Amino acid sequence: MASNQKVTKVNIMTFNIENLHVAVDGKEILKGISLKLEKGKVHALMGPNGSGKSTLANALMGHPKYEITSGKITLDGADLTTLEPDERSKKGLFLSFQYPSEVPGVTISNFLRTALNARHAENNKISFLDFKKLLDEKMQLLKMDKKFLLRYLNEGFSGGEKKRAEILQLLVLDPIVAVLDETDSGLDIDALRAVADGVNAFMSKDKAILIITHYKRILEYIKPDKLFIMIDGKIALEGTGELVDQLEAKGYGWIEEK
């Protein structure tokens, strides 16, 4: 007897990086990176200085300095490899910068509303009242003063203020895949907790996160499901979040000796 029960195909793959080679000024930095980021999971990328972590982040977002010489980047089946950064953003990709740029003359509030509306069709722009409600909600989560919105983007900000502003962008823009490049650098414990709370609030079964970091401490607040170790432009090891404790105890030398 034929069954009338519907079978739902579940696509667990959100973001796929296939054999990615990236060069800067003609020098190859990434030498065949392959990563799979699954929906509903937090992924962490660690590695020594100069291993290529930030190169990967910038290449994923389409920075013109970072030339993809071969390989492929896909998001829910859509090929992003040759798209411009704004097109990648509209597809659902987000990058939190290690060193956010200052934008004099543009307030955080105006920047965020412009960025949010740029991702929507002309007939689906967010109203001022809805935007204000959204912004108030996200700022409370990050424990940010409303006066912050009147300041020019990152101008005169401390390191912690810049990173909170990056996470505020993450929460407002609500992408599918978030790449966080050393978001924890320069943060005191209170700022680290606020940033971690924001990232955890963003996470859901339909999202994927890649946290790039040098240190264990942010991973104590944002628990990774999977950890990748990058050395000399390649993924040298991958495993569960428990690898973090081994790195803390042994450093990267024991991986290089494998």
- Give the pLDDT confidence score for residue 185 in this predicted structure: 84
Helix axis angle for 189-202 and 159-173, nearest 10°, is 10
Annotation: CATH topology of 13-256? Rossmann fold (3.40.50)
What string of H, E and C letters represents the secondary structure of 45-87?
A: EECCCCCCHHHHHHHHHCCCCEEEEEEEEEECCEECCCCCHHH
pTM: 0.89
Over residues 28-64, the pLDDT tens digits come to: 999 999 999 999 999 999 999 899 999 999 999 999 9
- Best-predicted range by mean pLDDT (20-24, 74-78, 112-116): 20-24
Q: How far is CA 28 from the centre of its chain?
A: 23
- Give the pLDDT confidence score for residue 146 in this predicted structure: 87
Asked which of 18-27, 112-121, 247-256 is least confident by mean pLDDT, the reply is: 247-256
Query: Looking at the predicted structure, is the pLDDT value of residue 4 above 80?
Result: no
- Give the pLDDT confidence score for residue 9 in this predicted structure: 46
User: In a 10 Å sphere around its CB, with 0-12 CB exposed, 13-18 middle and 19+ buried, how is residue 236 labelled?
Assistant: middle
Sequence-ordered strand ranges (E) for the chain: 13-24, 27-38, 41-46, 66-75, 78-79, 93-96, 103-107, 152-153, 177-181, 208-212, 226-231, 234-239
**For 137, what's the count of Cα atoms within 13 Å in the CB-facing half-sphere?**
10
CA-to-CA separations, 201 to 30, 96, 164, 192, 207, in angstroms, rounded: 32, 16, 14, 14, 11
Q: How confident is the model at residue 12 (pLDDT cuts 50, 70, 90)?
A: low
- Give the pLDDT confidence score for residue 2 in this predicted structure: 44
Over residues 124-133, the pLDDT tens digits come to: 788 999 999 9
- Give the pLDDT confidence score for residue 253 in this predicted structure: 78
What SS3 class is residue 96? strand
Give the H or E element holding residue 136. Answer: helix 128-141
Cβ partners under 8 Å of residue 70, min gap 6: 19, 20, 21
Give the H or E element holding residue 141. Answer: helix 128-141
Query: Looking at the predicted structure, is the pLDDT value of residue 18 above 60?
Result: yes
Vertex 141: Cα angle to 124 and 184 (nearest 5):
105
Return mean pLDDT, the chain. Answer: 89
- Give the pLDDT confidence score for residue 258 in this predicted structure: 57
Q: Please state, for a pLDDT cut of 70, what percent of the chain lies above it.
A: 93
Query: Looking at the predicted structure, is the pLDDT value of residue 256 above 70?
Result: no
Over residues 144-167, the pLDDT tens digits come to: 888 888 999 999 998 888 988 999
CA distance 155 to 119: 25
Asked which of 139-153, 170-184, 236-250 is least confident by mean pLDDT, the reply is: 236-250
- Give the pLDDT confidence score for residue 227 in this predicted structure: 95
Over residues 193-233, the pLDDT tens digits come to: 989 999 999 999 999 999 999 888 899 999 999 999 999 99
Query: Looking at the predicted structure, is the pLDDT value of residue 10 above 50?
Result: no
Query: Looking at the predicted structure, is the pLDDT value of residue 17 above 90?
Result: yes
**Structural domain boundaries of the chain?**
13-256
Say if strands 177-181 and 27-38 run parallel, antiparallel, or are unpaired.
Answer: unpaired
